[in-house]
Amino acid sequence: MAEQGSLRTVVIGIDAGCRSVLEPQFDAGELPTLNRLFSTCSGALESQIPPWTASAWPTLYTGVNPGKHGVYDFLSFDGYDWSVVNATHIRRRTLWEYLDFHGYRSVVVNVPVTHPPRPFDGALVPGYTAPESPTCHPEGLLDELEAAIGEYTVYGTVEQATDCIRQRGDAFRYLVDRFDPEFGFVQFQWTDAICHKRPGDWDELRRVYRAVDEQIGSILSDCAPQNVLVVSDHGIGPYDGRSFLVNDYLKNDGYVTATNGGSGMPSWAGVRERQLKRGGAGDTPNQHPIQSLLTGAARLGLTSQRIESILSTVGLRSVVANRVPSTLISSAAEQVDFERSTAYMRSRTEMGVRINLAGREPNGTVAQQAYEDVRKELISTLRGVKTPAGDPVFETVAPREQFFHGPHIDRGPDIVTVPSNFDQFLSTRIGTEQFSQPDEPWNHKRFGVIAAEGAAIDASASLAGAHLFDVAPTVLATLGVPASAEMDGDVLEIASSCGEQEYPTFEPSSRTTTTDQAIEDQLADLGYIE
């Protein structure tokens, strides 16, 4: 073990970092710290399926696939009900918990899906899917941190993006000095968020990356880690294909049954009000007179999709979109009736279709003995879907076992649907157009990046074929710690493996439900919840 006070390894997470975003900035002489790191030892990092923040970061820091750690999406489903995922849904040890087992201390800042924090030797400030003013570890740490560095914000607005980035760096440096860890992990989320909020705006993108590069430079200078790994959970880029309404297609094929104004899945996301919060001015839940009117109209067949079509015709769609709260729109939307459907897509970022299986779902309609036949039929049907231009919508439609394995495989979709070249935008909505322009012009791509340097890093070794699964065992190797035998990846050639070992069975706490509406609003604002 290194002497106390020596930061052995730091992992720097850049959400959605990829070559197509980084290289134009390198070529322009920008991002000097990242440019130097990527000029030595770097490569592509293949993400998992699905390549979205809430599932991919847990895969990276546990080293196992979603079938083992249990998180497939931003949402966790209990029957037909859902809530936003949190750390209690992660059913495997994290990097810092493996290191705690071996007597190492860690500092973790802004890593997604880490709230509420689990105890370990060190400090943790939660990241994405945590509430504002989150519970930190140790208890009371946030008050101490804000007394030292000023306000700390989990999300923030576009205007506050660089302040949020500075807060990550300030918090990490303060906590490294305060706790004297051997391992550190700091993540920057705004490199992803800016692409959703300002897609294609390179001025805004460069502003965010310059701030991140500055903080990374200060971290390396002030904390002097022996080893550095820069990693991303996935890539990002423009979508040139089509938006495809999966549930609408399944409805036309008889798999989805819809309901008007019920409690199923809302489907009119195109005019979601993104500013008004539930309970805000003019929007009292369950009491708004327009809500009752729209619900009644929906039951008579005048759904929000039809209203949307009429408004578009007369040029008022965007005007209404800016004034009608999302709860009212949801009341009138044609929705998936989970209980009466055969199969449906629960969440577009889950990237798959769920079968309404008897004995598993509360009101399953598909008998256990018919499951495989229905699944094969659905796979065959979806493989044949083409865009109006004749291009395949999916590059892969496959049984979930092709991508997931482990004790929590049943929590995911039954069929995995991978869009062609990640250029087709999948949607759960039921609407008037089955194919249209992508709802978001920029979105996630399969390949991120990895770069490494340091005393335990062989910069001459190849990073070819690096996968998200490989990050955790490689990080452990830089600290001389054996990987867990249950990890799905391998130590990359850049580090010397310390072998594997069987760790004691991990006993996770009971799952809790996230009830913070502001978190749902953040996810909706980025297009993750439709």
What is the per-residue pLDDT across 7-42, written as a single tens digit (0 to 9) for each?
Answer: 999 999 999 999 999 999 999 999 999 999 999 999
pLDDT at 517: 77
Within-domain flag for 94: yes
- Domain that residue 106 falls in: 9-237+443-525
Over residues 149-165, the pLDDT tens digits come to 999 999 999 999 999 99
Within-domain flag for 2: no
pLDDT at 332: 53
Q: At what angle do helices 202-223 and 190-197 cross, to 10 degrees?
A: 170
pLDDT at 263: 55
pLDDT at 219 over 90: yes
Closest CA to 102 of 121, 125, 119: 121
Within-domain flag for 65: yes
Mean pLDDT value across residues 363-379: 98
pLDDT at 310 over 90: no
Do residues 199 and 72 share a domain?
A: yes
Within-domain flag for 327: yes
Do residues 363 and 453 share a domain?
A: no
Domain count, the chain: 2
**Is the Cβ–Cβ distance between 55 and 73 less than 8 Å?**
yes
Do residues 256 and 184 share a domain?
A: no
Q: Which two tokens stand for residue 100?
A: 């705690």
For the chain, what percent of residues have pLDDT higher than 70?
Answer: 85
pLDDT at 84 over 70: yes
Q: Which two tokens stand for residue 199?
A: 């897609």
Do residues 392 and 450 share a domain?
A: no
Helix (H), strand (E) at residue 56: helix 53-62
- Which of these three, 405, 425, 441, is where a domain ends? 441
Do residues 215 and 252 share a domain?
A: no
Do residues 342 and 452 share a domain?
A: no
- For residue 85, the domain's CATH number is 3.40.720.10
Within-domain flag for 127: yes
pLDDT at 440: 87
Over residues 89-119, the pLDDT tens digits come to 999 999 999 999 999 999 999 999 999 999 9
CA distance 263 to 385: 29
Residue 505 CB burial class (10 angstroms; 0-12, 13-18, ≥19): exposed
Lowest mean pLDDT among 325-329, 376-380, 401-405: 325-329
Within-domain flag for 287: yes
The torsion angle over the Cα atoms of residues 421, 422, 428 and 430, rounded to 10 degrees, is -60
**Is the Cβ–Cβ distance between 477 and 495 less than 8 Å?**
yes
Q: What is the pTM of this model?
A: 0.88
Within-domain flag for 141: yes
Do residues 66 and 206 share a domain?
A: yes
Do residues 277 and 336 share a domain?
A: yes
Helix (H), strand (E) at residue 332: helix 326-332
Q: How many helices (H) and strands (E) does the chain have?
A: 17, 22
pLDDT at 393: 97
Do residues 295 and 176 share a domain?
A: no
Output 186 or 315, whichever has higher pLDDT. 186
Closest CA to 107 of 167, 158, 37, 182: 182
pLDDT at 73 over 60: yes
- Which of these three, 441, 467, 502, is where a domain ends? 441
Do residues 190 and 250 share a domain?
A: no
pLDDT at 260: 78
CA distance 261 to 421: 36
Do residues 424 and 469 share a domain?
A: no
Within-domain flag for 253: yes
CA distance 527 to 232: 20
Q: How confident is the model at residue 301 (pLDDT cuts 50, 70, 90)?
A: very low
User: Given the DSSP bridges, would you call strands 334-336 and 258-260 parallel, antiparallel or unpaired?
Assistant: antiparallel
Do residues 36 and 120 share a domain?
A: yes
- Which of these three, 441, 476, 506, is where a domain ends? 441
Mean pLDDT value across residues 291-319: 48
DSSP 3-state of 38? helix
pLDDT at 523: 77
- The number of residues making up the chain comes to 530
pLDDT at 233 over 80: yes
pLDDT at 221: 97
Mean pLDDT value across residues 465-487: 98
